[in-house]
Amino acid sequence: MWLGQVALAALLSMSGFAALGDDHSHDEGGLSYTAEGRASYYSSRFHGQPTASGEPYDETNMTAAHPSLPFDAQLCITNLNNGRSTTVRVNDRGPFVGGRIVDVSMAAARELGMLRAGIIRVRVETCELES
């Protein structure tokens, strides 16, 4: 079994899925995730197209695509270049480009200050929204 886990980790690492400091665990009934890596954002040409969750992509909503976290998970994303941060809701799968750990909506990209750069280094953590 251990050898199978090592092989899976190697494959995920080669595919760009694994991220530096990736931690994906359940604490006290909740999901805990922390990772650092590269983020990109959706082009406006995807506006209105269906996401993996079935809802249409809306570039004005604070949403994101993540390869494995559950839909509706709340993520706190911090731009490691400028310190700006925002909160998004997972509603899609992706990114499917090696080395990227999250794709964010145009609105989230604007809040993170990444529109000019396109791809930035980020820290992604699960977070709880206060009701």
pLDDT (tens digit, 9 = 90+) per residue, 110-125?
A: 999 999 999 999 999 9
List, in sequence order, every beta strand (DSSP E) within 1-126.
20-27, 30-41, 63-65, 74-79, 85-92, 100-104, 120-126
Residue 85 burial (CB count, 10 A): 15
Is the pLDDT higher at 11 or at 64? 64
The answer to whether residue 3 scores a pLDDT higher than 90 is no
Total residue length of the chain: 131
pTM for this model (two decimals): 0.77
4 φ/ψ angles, rounded to the nearest 5 degrees: -65, -40
Number of helical (H) and strand (E) elements in the chain, helices listed first: 2, 7
Specify the pairing of strand 63-65 against strand 100-104. Answer: antiparallel
If one counts every other C-beta atom within 10 angstroms of the C-beta of residue 124, the result is 25
DSSP state of 23: E
Q: Which residue has the higher pLDDT, 55 or 20?
A: 55
Dihedral (CA of 56, 24, 99, 105) sign = positive
